[in-house]
Amino acid sequence: MRAIVYKKPNRVAVETVPDPELELPTDAIVRITSAGICGSDLHMYEGRTPDSDGMRFGHENMGVVESIGTAVLNIKVGDRVVMPFNVACGSCFNCARGYTNACLVVNPDGVSGGYGYSGMGPYAGGQAERLRVPFADFNCLKLPGQPGDDFEDDFLLLSDVFPTGYHAAVLAGVEPGDSVAVFGAGPVGLLAAYSSLLRGAAEVYVVDGIRERLARAQEIGAIPIDYNRGEPCKQIQKMRSENHFIQGAQRPGENKMSGVMCGIDAVGYQARSFDDPKQENPIQVIEELVHVVNPTGRIGIVGVYFAEDPGGADKSAKHGQFRLPLGDIFEKGLTIGTGQTPVKKYNAYLRDLIIAGRAKPSFIVSHRLTLEEAPAAYEKFDQRSDGYTKVILKPEVSSIS
């Protein structure tokens, strides 16, 4: 079959590789109809992770069940399914509590498994014609309809970015009537804002420096904040203070609460400086969040931070250590949630919102391409050129008009 294979830094190729096979009776083989390219694939693409040579990329996978092992009971051949990016056993202490992002069984080297990802176990990725899915009963989410229907791209996003945006809102404790500030308007940031609104937030501010992204935020009902126009925290507080409705609603002391109750970091360790976008400044987003979130508030961090980052700016950064405003955090009594998304905790609910027509996350998709177009797409996506923000590959298609 054809698959995307990592060759060397800044180079992937489409190659013919052996078809995946059922290795355990709990496995299934899925014929891929859609596979996303994720921002986190670029870490590997740029050669900043070890042991990627010859790796098949792709952790956002969806398709049709082609064969199943003898112990697979819940799904059958022909089922349309989407898989969480996490590979999880379903039985260990962490999986049984819903923490499929920390499965103790599937990854000999750590507490988290994934398809086609460095350090996340021996699982080939799905930017290919077929994918082996371990523990298929547990890891396949059944879908209605037919491949290529109106929901194809929405459903594909159930594999990672929609649940990850939603997880950000959960970590930040977004409840109906809350106010939210999301830093970063890439796919995850936009879907964090979108999910915050789904969860009933009253006001959602989205901070970014790129006009197109901010326009997208506004289209979904969020309030765009351009960091090129001044410190985001101050812009948000000013808007909330000037808003005659909010202001009029204040009791004494509510000027002490002129920020928001919930903050989301959808940027992570490669954040650009607000002042000089050519510089990385991995601290600034969290500093701003701590300023803009009100006392008793909550912060959710889904932008990635690594414990080891050879490309870090200094010795501390190389070990994932950053200077954080702990004094402010403590005085405000903030709660901070972090980490990878346990996709299975959310994907059935988000699927049902898509089916019912109440969620349409595919607004973030910028490109739909064939497998053969993937190498060029990686290059452009890595440079964020030509509007490449979210690419979905269609392995069954030989040309897309």
Q: Is 323 in the site for a copy of itself (CB under 8 A)?
A: yes
- Of 218, 228, 279, 321, the one binding a copy of itself by CB under 8 A: 321
Other beta carbons within 10 Å of 138: 20
CB 30 within 8 A of CB 129: no
Q: Is 142 in the site for a copy of itself (CB under 8 A)?
A: yes
**Which of 18, 11, 160 minimizes the C-alpha distance to 83?**
160
Distance, CA of 112 to CA of 92 (rounded, Å): 12
Cβ distance to a copy of itself smaller for residue 139 or 389: 139
Q: How far is the CB of 311 from a copy of itself (least distance, A)?
A: 12
Cβ distance to a copy of itself smaller for residue 234 or 319: 319
The span of 5-13, 55-63, 96-104, 157-165 binding a copy of itself (CB under 8 A) equals 96-104
Which element (helix H / strand E) includes 316?
helix 315-318
Q: How many CA atoms lie within 13 A of 228 on its CB side?
A: 6
The span of 3-11, 87-95, 186-194, 362-370 binding a copy of itself (CB under 8 A) equals 87-95
CB 344 within 8 A of CB 84: yes
Q: Is 97 in the site for a copy of itself (CB under 8 A)?
A: yes
Q: Look up residue 271 and give its DSSP letter.
A: P
CB 233 within 8 A of CB 239: no
**Which of 338, 361, 392, 355 minimizes the C-alpha distance to 191?**
361
Cβ distance to a copy of itself smaller for residue 341 or 389: 341
Give Dmax over CA atoms of the chain in angstroms: 69
Q: How far is the CB of 107 from a copy of itself (least distance, A)?
A: 8
- Of 211, 238, 256, 384, the one binding a copy of itself by CB under 8 A: 256
Q: Is 269 in the site for a copy of itself (CB under 8 A)?
A: yes
Q: Is 246 in the site for a copy of itself (CB under 8 A)?
A: yes
Cβ distance to a copy of itself smaller for residue 17 or 329: 329
Contacts (CB under 8 A) with a copy of itself, residues 371-400: none
- Of 324, 376, 384, 387, the one binding a copy of itself by CB under 8 A: 324
Distances (CA, A) of 1 to 4, 18, 53: 10, 6, 19
Handedness of CA 58, 64, 66, 70 (dihedral sign): positive
Q: Is 331 in the site for a copy of itself (CB under 8 A)?
A: yes
Residues 6+ apart with CB under 8 A from 368: 153, 391, 392, 394, 400
Kindly provide the b/e burial profile for residues 351-386, where b requires at least 16 CB atoms within 10 angstroms of the residue's own CB.
bebbeeeebebbbbbebbbbbebbeebbeebbeeee
The span of 22-30, 40-48, 366-374, 386-394 binding a copy of itself (CB under 8 A) equals 22-30
Contacts (CB under 8 A) with a copy of itself, residues 30-69: 69
Q: Is 284 in the site for a copy of itself (CB under 8 A)?
A: no
Q: Is 250 in the site for a copy of itself (CB under 8 A)?
A: yes
Q: Is 75 in the site for a copy of itself (CB under 8 A)?
A: yes
Name the token pair of 252: 């004494």
- Of 1, 42, 64, 137, the one binding a copy of itself by CB under 8 A: 137
Contacts (CB under 8 A) with a copy of itself, residues 342-371: 344, 346, 348-353, 355-356, 358
Distance, CA of 78 to CA of 319 (rounded, Å): 46
Q: Look up residue 157 and give its DSSP letter.
A: G
Q: Is 252 in the site for a copy of itself (CB under 8 A)?
A: yes
Q: Is 339 in the site for a copy of itself (CB under 8 A)?
A: yes
Contacts (CB under 8 A) with a copy of itself, residues 176-215: 176-179, 198-200, 202-203
Contacts (CB under 8 A) with a copy of itself, residues 300-319: 301, 304-309, 316, 319
Name the token pair of 21: 């096979």
Q: Is 326 in the site for a copy of itself (CB under 8 A)?
A: yes
Residue type, 172: A
Three-state secondary structure call for residue 8: strand
Q: Is 71 in the site for a copy of itself (CB under 8 A)?
A: yes
Q: Is 101 in the site for a copy of itself (CB under 8 A)?
A: yes
Q: Is 330 in the site for a copy of itself (CB under 8 A)?
A: yes
Q: Is 329 in the site for a copy of itself (CB under 8 A)?
A: yes
Q: Dihedral through CA 186, CA 192, CA 198, CA 200, nearest 10?
A: -130
Cβ distance to a copy of itself smaller for residue 199 or 216: 199
Q: Is 328 in the site for a copy of itself (CB under 8 A)?
A: yes
